[in-house]
Amino acid sequence: MNPKIPPLPALRALETAARLRSFTRAAQELNVTHSAVSHHLRALEDSLGTVLFNRSGPRMIPTPACERLAASVRKSLEELADALAQARAQGSGVTYLQVSVMADFASAWLIRRLALFAEQHPDIELMLRIHYQLEPPDPDSVDIGIWHRRINRKGYLCRKLLDDRVIAVASPQLLARYPGYTLADVPRMPMLRWTMRSWRDWLTAAGLPPDEPERGPVFDDPGIMLQAAVAGQGLATARWQMARHDLEAGNLVQIGEISIPASMEYFVAWRENHVREAAILRFYEWLQSELQATAVA
């Protein structure tokens, strides 16, 4: 080994601390002690003859030199991880993609189509990381992300994934309890609630009093709320694309013909010139193709 190249643990400590801006969080991610991270970074600073981090309250802010070095280390580690994965595949030519995806998109849309993707792209293996928070995770931690928020970071490509409409749905079993129902009957039906979407806009579009229901289960995951609607627990608002499978299967019925614009969008993001960019582009193009084939008119 070239003696001028620092040990791998020190380089990993540098990349992780620069990305997380915290020695404590870096130690947790690397499963080492805080003092081990500090020791590695002090040794690197002594070896390089330059300051790598400046403290700002509880945060450790990487210097410009540190940012450049961390980016190079990150890319090198990814290339090494990719080479090792390919070696483990024993020449099978399989490319592994780590995909971070919003929980609702995963449960209601993507998971149902994994077999189709595998059939069309047998040389790409998807490794899904389900994401539940509105704020995206660190985009450097995965190959590609499908999130509600746009990634505005230099060197990243970010594309809007789809336009969609929100509708109200219920199970046939629930609606059977209200024979001959009309829109006017909706307020007396059980209504499921999601923390990120009010019923008011849909009720207003339906010409009903825009009174948010005061009773009924409240969900922080719209995918789980949709499953509750399928189980007959109440009416739910849902993106048409997310409810489409259950609508076509007869598990859900749309209430009226009212639809309103979706308030939150989906974005796909990945780093430019990624070592697995060819596979990333094939996955992104497949997503677009599948969504366009079922786009809302």
- Tens of pLDDT, residues 237-276: 999 988 988 999 999 999 999 999 987 889 999 999 898 8
Instruction: Report DSSP letters for 198-210, one per residue.
Output: -SHHHHHHTTS--
Higher pLDDT, 75 or 239: 239
Residue 236 has pLDDT above 90, yes or no: yes
The helix-helix angle for 240-249 and 222-230 (nearest 10°) equals: 20
Q: How far is CA 153 from the centre of its chain?
A: 16
pTM of the predicted structure, to 2 decimals: 0.64
The per-residue pLDDT for range 167-220, each reduced to its tens digit, is: 999 999 999 999 999 999 999 999 999 888 889 999 999 999 988 888 888 988
Closest CA to 105 of 65, 56, 145, 69: 145
Domains of the chain, earliest start first: 8-79 (1.10.10.10), 94-163+265-293 (3.40.190.10), 170-241 (3.40.190.10)
What distance in Å separates the CA atoms of residue 39 and residue 32, rounded to the nearest whole number?
11
What pLDDT score was predicted for residue 85? 66
By percentage, how much of the chain surpasses pLDDT 70?
94
In this structure, are residues 206 and 186 in contact, taking their beta carbons and an 8 Å threshold? yes
- In sequence order, the 6+-apart residues with CB closer than 8 A to the CB of 199 are 191, 193, 210, 212, 213, 237
Residue 119: the pLDDT is: 95
